[in-house]
A and B are shown apart, each in its own frame.
Chain A
Amino acid sequence: MAEIRIENLRKQFSDFVAVQDSSFTVEDGEFLALLGPSGCGKTTTLRMIAGLELPTSGKIYLDGEDVTFNRASERDIAFVFQLFALYPHMNVRKNIGFPLLSQGVPKAEIKARVEETARLLQISHILDRSVSGLAGGDRQRVALGRAIVRRPKCFLMDEPLGTLDAEFREVMVHELRELHNRIHATTVYVTHDQHEAMAMADKIAVMNHGVIEQFGTPQEIYNRPASMYVADFIGSPPMNFLKFTSGLQIGARSVSVDGVEIALPEVRQDMAVGELALGVRPEHIRFSDNSALRGSVYGAEYLGTNQIVAVETGKGLLKARVSADRTFRVGETVGLELNSEKLSLFDCASGRAVKSSLYTEARHG
């Protein structure tokens, strides 16, 4: 197992920049999710780590060794493809044993290791079946088996659950995490599904237009989004933004949105007058009749344990996640109270978060 270090990695296809100067480190045994919409460069990043694409510039270190220009076959990594890429002309046993064959492992040992892998993944009963008749989940397990049988330095997975149906995906998310806990392999996992990333990863890198917007633990990404893009991409429904125009001084503890004073974590950055956005997660909004921030109920979405209530405030629609026991009438006037300790503030021009005690203190603490 090994650490993966990426330095200023860049990939350009003629005049399209797929990945822009990305740097990050995946520590030994860590599970990193590269998260972003399609076309954001996450798969290209993964393929460069694998050696399937050569970077335009930048360096890739595997276990401290510069492998930027090594062949894929020389990197000792395993890759699980979105469509699994199980060799159709081989049965399950041969598929799993194929990577060992290239290393010249003796037949008896291949057999033993394939069977051990199959036991680990609970697919011993299908070892001699043809891969073409397998169900999605079993194909997934065979693909994983082919990856882990060699005990490579790290695993790269390109949306491996993308083709499974929703119900089965839940099961596989659990299985993958279990597997990771057992073998502690350094893993880079590409997905566009925030739930998968949140549920499995130790660290998440949120990518957009070839740029890593934020790199951090799922908690950091969710609670302290570094940009409006991350705040909007993560969470369902996503973070609400209340846009207003104002300047900021270091030490400010509240902002005035259309005459309504809203308390927030202490600002640690001076900002000239410009358009700002107050970011608030739906679960950090409470209904309170004596709040100055008012709006009318636009609609409610009942989810069983809670409900999502959309409120028209005049500053746009705010979605609040509140308990399901209160019933709202459409058009009803309500007061909204925001949890002042959890608010984020963004500079609309750059999209970046404004520094505040929420960000700085958490980082040190």
Chain B
Amino acid sequence: MSNATTAHSVVEPSSTSKRIAGFIVILYAVITMVPLAWIFLTSIKSPPDSISYPPKIVFQPTLEGYCNLFTTRTRQTPEYIQSLGPPTSTCDEITRSRNMVIAGPSNYWPRFTNSMVIAFGSTFLAVFLGTLAAYGFSRFRVPLADDLLFFILSTRMMPPIAVAIPIYLMYRELGLSDTALGMILLYTAVNVSLAVWLLKGFIDEIPREYEEAAMIDGYTRLQAFRKVVLPQATTGIAATAIFCLIFAWNEYAFAVLLTSGTAQTAPPFIPTIIGEGGMDWPAVAAGTTIFLVPILVFTILLRKQLLRGITFGAVRK
């Protein structure tokens, strides 16, 4: 098992083909990273630089986009600004240079927090429920197991947004509209089918003998599950968690429809960032850049498991 975890070809590739392969990989990486680089560079440009044509590669970086993202500002007369004391922060200074003063914090941070709570909350719930259900399906003789599994899968057979209107009406009746709980439940419902199926595959691969050994060694089934099955399913759980998190983090359509105020997540909020007199592209770019960070960190931390998750079933044995 241990020596078969890396796939390898019997024939050593020639140096030319290695070079060609390397070139293709690098080219692909560059192409896919250009939009990310673009977003990041835009976020540190001044508004005039961000819309200049041809695009500026060399420019004076500024934090203006980030300042605008996190604050609301009001336009004032130069005389009024002159009458104020010295600026208290970098953002204050930048804002004053545009003939404006900071009026207060923007809604970005609460929206970002909503995203964190809803995405991580629903991921935790989906993975938790998915693990237990997958274990049950994998180990016990569940009556109509195949039909139940098909039913669970069938919830993903149409795009979730197809049921948006009934859900909207139900949520309004139940008072779940524009609540974090409502969004967590919704994303959990969508993700749990994926979680059950993915995790069942992983748990099926863990030999039953481990739990049986633990049960004979004096543990209850639940203890055996916790001490023997869970540690071995971590790869699968991590992979499943990433998939669920990415979905919940990126989800836009339901968020637009069901959240408007207190429970609004970052994706529907970012496009609403409009500065005085036209779209404030650096602020939008800054919002996007910050929005990317959690998922990037999470994915980098769990990248090995993610890889296993994508190729699962193909590497073992």
Q: Which residues of A are interface residues toward B (Cβ below 8 A)?
A: 50-52, 71-73, 75, 77-79, 81-83, 85, 87-89, 98-99, 102-103, 132-133, 146, 150
B9 at interface by CB-CB < 8 Å: no
Q: A51 — which chain B residues lie within 8 A by C-beta? A: 215-216
B 225-238 to A, binary, CB cutoff 8 A, 1 in contact else 0: 00010011000000
B 216-257 to A, binary, CB cutoff 8 A, 1 in contact else 0: 111110010000100110000000000000000000000000
Known: A81-B209, A83-B207, A83-B209. A88 touches B232 (CB 8 A): yes
In the bound assembly, the distance between CA atoms of A85 and B228 in angstroms comes to: 11
In the bound assembly, the distance between CA atoms of A78 and B214 in angstroms comes to: 10
Q: B210 — which chain A residues lie within 8 A by C-beta? A: 85, 87
Select one of A78, A83, A132 contacting B216, CB under 8 A: A78
Q: Report the count of interface residues on B (CB-CB < 8 A).
A: 18
Nearest-CB distance from A146 to chain B (Å)? 7
In the bound assembly, the distance between CA atoms of A229 and B220 in angstroms comes to: 41
Q: B207 — which chain A residues lie within 8 A by C-beta? A: 83, 85
Q: A79 — which chain B residues lie within 8 A by C-beta? A: 212-213, 216
Q: A87 — which chain B residues lie within 8 A by C-beta? A: 210, 213-214, 228, 231
What are 30 A-B pairs with beta-carbon distances under 8 A?
A: A50-B212, A50-B216, A51-B215, A52-B212, A52-B215, A52-B216, A71-B215, A72-B212, A72-B215, A72-B216, A73-B215, A73-B217, A73-B219, A75-B216, A81-B209, A83-B209, A85-B207, A85-B212, A85-B213, A87-B213, A87-B214, A87-B231, A89-B231, A89-B232, A99-B217, A99-B218, A102-B217, A133-B2, A146-B213, A150-B217
In the bound assembly, the distance between CA atoms of A153 and B87 in angstroms comes to: 81
Select one of B1, B209, B220, B232 contacting A73, CB under 8 A: B220
Nearest-CB distance from A67 to chain B (Å)? 13
Q: Which residues of B are interface residues toward A (Cβ below 8 A)?
A: 1-2, 207, 209-210, 212-220, 223, 228, 231-232
Q: Given known contacts A77-B216, A79-B213, what 9 new A-B pairs fall within 8 Å (CB)?
A: A71-B215, A72-B215, A72-B216, A73-B215, A73-B220, A81-B212, A83-B209, A102-B223, A132-B1
Known: A52-B212, A85-B212. A146 touches B217 (CB 8 A): yes
Contact B219 A102 (CB under 8 A): yes
Closest residue of chain B to A99 (Cβ to Cβ) is B217
Closest residue of chain B to A75 (Cβ to Cβ) is B216
Q: A50 — which chain B residues lie within 8 A by C-beta? A: 212, 216
